[in-house]
Amino acid sequence: MSITRSLLTSVALLPLLAACQVYTGKPEGPPPATRLQGQVQAENGQLVFTPCQEQRRFVLVDGGNSSVEREIMRLGSDGHASLFADLAGRLGGSQAKGSDGRFEISQIYRLQSEGHGCEDLNFKRLTLRAGGNEPSWHLEVGSKGLVLNRPEKPPLALPYLEEQLPDGRLSFSSEANGQRLDLWVAPQRCIDDMSGTVNHLTAELRLDGQVLRGCAYFGAMRN
């Protein structure tokens, strides 16, 4: 009798032991954010986002601290019916009529009312783009290396060294052809003082002792 009870107890415990072996105790985290570029416009009291080269339409909502609605309204107050937006967030379902879902924003990379937007052919090959005004300068880091453009001067193409710094900052430096170049970028909201474009990075360029400041954003090769 005792042997029978022992066997029954062992059989009853097998499913519990199997369950303990399968369960890891680590809950699944939220899905990763999706980065999309497209056009934003206001319709019937809502912000509607249409990705580049697509017909889908998503209701745009703030994921909590992106301030995307405030930023879009600020740029749209200048009379622009549609804005280009480079955003990251999570796609989900929506009951809104005429939409394919909702896009809950967690990160603004760029908002602009002028420029190439969806027609920017170099975006997919870019790691970073930075620029500033007075004096004007424009710098791109990508598959072709580092290229600095300034008015009335030929483009300056240089090899570079990238360094990751604390607090999400980055440094790009080059010393070639008798010139020293250093670019620092930091994750901080930056508004172009001429176009009003919102960027997610501040930039500081030092070239042969001259300090130039501006804004920057990541290209498609870097999130």
Q: Identify the CATH number of the domain in which residue 109 sits.
A: 2.40.50
Q: What is d(CA 34, CA 106) in angstroms, rounded to the nearest whole number?
A: 10
Considering the domain architecture, whether residues 132 and 208 belong to the same structural domain is answered as yes
What residues form DSSP beta bridges with 186? Answer: 202
21-35, 42-56, 64-78, 79-93 — most confident range:
42-56
pLDDT at 13: 44
Considering the domain architecture, whether residues 133 and 209 belong to the same structural domain is answered as yes
12-16, 25-29, 122-126 — most confident range:
122-126
Q: What is d(CA 117, CA 208) in angstroms, rounded to the nearest whole number?
A: 32
Considering the domain architecture, whether residues 161 and 110 belong to the same structural domain is answered as no
pLDDT at 192: 94
pLDDT higher than 70, residue 111: yes
Q: What single-letter amino acid sits at 83?
A: L
Residue 64 lies in a domain: yes
Measured from the Cβ of residue 208, the count of other Cβ atoms closer than 10 Å reads 8
Q: What single-letter amino acid sits at 59?
A: V
Higher pLDDT, 6 or 203: 203
**Would you place residue 6 in the very low, low, confident or very high pLDDT band (cuts 50, 70, 90)?**
very low
pLDDT at 115: 81
**Would you place residue 16 in the very low, low, confident or very high pLDDT band (cuts 50, 70, 90)?**
very low
DSSP string, 146-161: EEEEETTEEEEEE--E
Q: What is d(CA 132, CA 194) in angstroms, rounded to the nearest whole number?
A: 9
Measured from the Cβ of residue 10, the count of other Cβ atoms closer than 10 Å reads 10
Give the closest residue to 198 by CA, choosing from 113, 111, 74: 111
Count of H-run helices and E-run strands, the chain? 2, 14
19-23, 193-197, 198-202 — most confident range:
198-202
Considering the domain architecture, whether residues 202 and 139 belong to the same structural domain is answered as yes
- In tens, the pLDDT along 127-177 reads 999 999 999 999 999 988 999 999 989 999 999 999 999 999 999 999 877
pLDDT at 79: 60
Considering the domain architecture, whether residues 127 and 212 belong to the same structural domain is answered as yes
**Would you place residue 27 in the very low, low, confident or very high pLDDT band (cuts 50, 70, 90)?**
low
Residue 101 lies in a domain: yes
**Domain stops at, among 62, 87, 118:** 118
Residue 206 lies in a domain: yes
Considering the domain architecture, whether residues 140 and 199 belong to the same structural domain is answered as yes
Q: Which domain holds residue 194?
A: 123-218
pLDDT at 15: 45
